[in-house]
Amino acid sequence: DAKTTQPNSMESNEEEPVHLPCNHSTISGTDYIHWYRQLPSQGPEYVIHGLTSNVNNRMASLAIAEDRKSSTLILHRATLRDAAVYYCILRDSGGGADGLTFGKGTHLIIQP
Amino acid sequence: EAQVTQNPRYLITVTGKKLTVTCSQNMNHEYMSWYRQDPGLGLRQIYYSMNVEVTDKGDVPEGYKVSRKEKRNFPLILESPSPNQTSLYFCASSLLGLAATYEQYFGPGTRLTVT
């Protein structure tokens, strides 16, 4: 899978929007952009994924740059429960049963 | 409730004593996988299974065995555990393994300590 780059940590205040960036300059045309998060002492949890268009679900929004070399996960109104490590992962739709490749992710800190 | 369950959640054992960590999913998923998570190394895939009786090695399979006799269960077996297998283990499942559009569901984790 192509490589992604994320900031090590970010801090935000409760009830404010959070924008988590991810760079993936070597993304291929068949790569989907997935986001997972891992809350303290829990297993990773799927958040959202997309290919080219922006995506919304009940948890978050995913904004994908026009050239697809970067994307941003948007939490519209952060709560203390959103404090977690967020991982941006590329998945090749061309196949492969490989596991998800988790990098270091972004440690999101939410201040009350 | 759709979920992946693992047992036990915590295990302390001694070198060489065979152990099994169970994993079960109730979503009729075809694909199941085991990962280990170590500080500074992220999650690494140990073994995966595309369907019943179909298993294959991931990135770090040495010292582990798996079996997939039923669709819902995917146990991880350590025949002779060693201290370097001390880690946090996660089981995951997905509707289909080859499709990049399907998310993986993870269990709560099993923290294993081998002394």
B8 interfaces chain A, CB cutoff of 8 Å: no
Residues B30 and B95 sit within 8 Å (Cβ to Cβ): yes
pLDDT at A77: 94
Which residues on A lie below 8 Å from B105 (Cβ)?
46
**Can you tell me the distance from the alpha carbon of B72 to that of A15, in angstroms, rounded to the nearest whole number?**
39
Contact A49 B103 (CB under 8 A): yes
Cβ <8 Å between B42 and A103: yes
The DSSP output letter for A98 is: P
- What digits encode the pLDDT tens for the residues A63-89? 999 999 999 999 999 999 999 999 999
- How many alpha carbons fall within 13 Å on the CB side of residue B55? 20
**Within an 8 Å CB–CB cutoff, is residue B106 touching chain A?**
yes
User: B45 and A92: CB-CB below 8 Å?
Assistant: no
| B45 interfaces chain A, CB cutoff of 8 Å | yes
Asked if A37 has any chain B CB less than 8 Å from its own CB, the reply is no
User: Judging by DSSP bridges, how do beta strands B87-94 and B110-114 pair with one another?
Assistant: antiparallel
Q: What is the pLDDT of residues A30-48, one digit of tens each?
A: 889 999 999 998 999 999 9
Q: What is the pLDDT of residue A101?
A: 80
